[in-house]
Amino acid sequence: TTAEARPKTLPTSALAERAAVVLRDNDTGSLVTASPKLYPHMWSWDAAFIAIGLAQLDIGRAVAELDTLLAAQWSDGMIPHIVFTSATGYFPGPDRWGTDAAPQRPRHVRTSGICQPPVHAIAIRRIVDVARRTSRVDAALAEGFAARVWQRLYRWHRWIIRYRIVDASGLVAIVHGWESGMDNSPRWDEPYSRVVPGTNLPPYARLDVLRVDDPAERPSDDDYDRYLWLIEQLRGVNYEPEAVVNTSDFLVADTFATALFALASDVLAELGEELACDRDQVAELRQWAARARRAVALSCRPDTGMAADRDIRYGNWIATPTLAGFSPLLCGGAGDRAEAALLSTLDGPDWSGHPDLFAAVVPSVSPCARRFDQRRYWRGPQWPVLAWLFSWAFARRGWTAQAARLREQGLRLTADGSFGEYYEPFTGSPLGSTNQSWTAAVVLDWLA
């Protein structure tokens, strides 16, 4: 397929209008679902990006979105990866998760029992910044909200420190690929190859494959057996956080989640200073950020300079070339020379500078890698939401030109107004879900 096969490019005003309509249409009143058909619930890291988009429309609605998520926080501090609505079209739903017996669960709403990357402080930062530019009333609203929920965010970060820094790497550990947000990334192939579903895995029927054009855009059935088997293991220990880490067959140190934790801890500390929150807690956050940043820098492979994950159960580094390798660029700490080298790798022909890409947006896996698969989910396609994350982090780090380029190329990718969940890198066609809320949200922010 050639670029000519692409749908039309909408003018900016029409694109923004359409993005707003997507968020409005996916709004149930108290939450914006991740997408209309494929994901009819609230996802933790989606909600953060969605709130950033909502801030361009209505600060009050943006704040309400995060309030809904934070109200589902578990009593130990964990923010669950899914807050379920009453919709039934997604599997695994709340019955399969079986969190109702976990003592830490919220009482008013059903949730999953794992978490997702801690990007929420970034959303609050962005909402406050946007609100300060719109009006005094908005600024007061956003700052009041930030002050009110700051403690909750602190407890979320403390939960990660308490329960998820479990080996000498100092990286944040995950117990399920879903916790990384990059479910079937080749990053997890090796650890998943060692997860052997028991013969007592209860039967199930996938729904996700019915909601996309082609099942080859989604994880495989073998992957799903493993995903579901891990849920059985988590249920087996009733989601008790220490037992989860001790028993899960999947226990991996995630360098990308660690970079986001470092970045978000710094952002939260900064907000804490602005809002005169508890000084000791602010100091703790700074320490956590520094430790996480160091861990990410130490995970970099000497040959490529790219950050790596670590299989904690088996004690080996996983150096598969995925966009997670660029984690140090999000949080800093690797040193100027290493960062410059990593930036040129990012812009180079193996990545965003690959000559055949429709838009110069970092693909989830290098098109030159053996395991690259241009249509399958986290195994090659481009994800606009990640382009936004890098562009925001780059702007914050003062890399204005790189940030602007990512924005421009992210908008090129999304200009047809379909708001794909992810995109085929060579043709730029949307894949997975369309009208995906977080894609609409980041487009709105880019267009502001």
Which residues contact ligand 9WN (rule: CB under 6 A)?
A: 34, 39, 43, 45-46, 81, 178, 181, 183, 208
Name the DSSP class of 243.
H
For the CB of residue 227, give the shortest distance to ligand 9WN in the complex, in Å. 8
Give dist(CA 413, CA 381) in Å, integer. Answer: 11
Judged by CB, which is closer to ligand 9WN: 178, or 326?
A: 178
Q: Which residues contact 199 (CB under 8 A, 6 or more apart)?
A: none
For the CB of residue 421, give the shortest distance to ligand 9WN in the complex, in Å. 7
Judged by CB, which is closer to ligand 9WN: 115, or 131?
A: 115
For the CB of residue 150, give the shortest distance to ligand 9WN in the complex, in Å. 24
Give dist(CA 31, CA 405) in Å, integer. Answer: 32
Judged by CB, which is closer to ligand 9WN: 159, or 178?
A: 178
Cβ-contact 306, 326 below 8 angstroms: yes
Positive or negative torsion for Cα 362, 363, 365, 367: negative
Judged by CB, which is closer to ligand 9WN: 46, or 138?
A: 46
For the CB of residue 208, give the shortest distance to ligand 9WN in the complex, in Å. 6
Q: Which amino acid does the sequence have at 276? A: A
Instruction: State the first-to-last Cα distance of the chain, in angstroms, to the nearest integer.
Output: 32
Judged by CB, which is closer to ligand 9WN: 35, or 345?
A: 35
Name the DSSP class of 303.
T
For the CB of residue 269, give the shortest distance to ligand 9WN in the complex, in Å. 26
For the CB of residue 443, give the shortest distance to ligand 9WN in the complex, in Å. 15
Give dist(CA 306, CA 295) in Å, integer. Answer: 13
Phi-psi region of 434 (alpha: psi -120 to 50; beta: other; left: phi over 0): beta
Backbone angles phi, psi at 174, to 5 degrees: -125, 155
**Which active-site residues does the annotation give?**
183, 421
Judged by CB, which is closer to ligand 9WN: 379, or 407?
A: 379
Give dist(CA 253, CA 240) in Å, integer. Answer: 19
Name the DSSP class of 429.
-
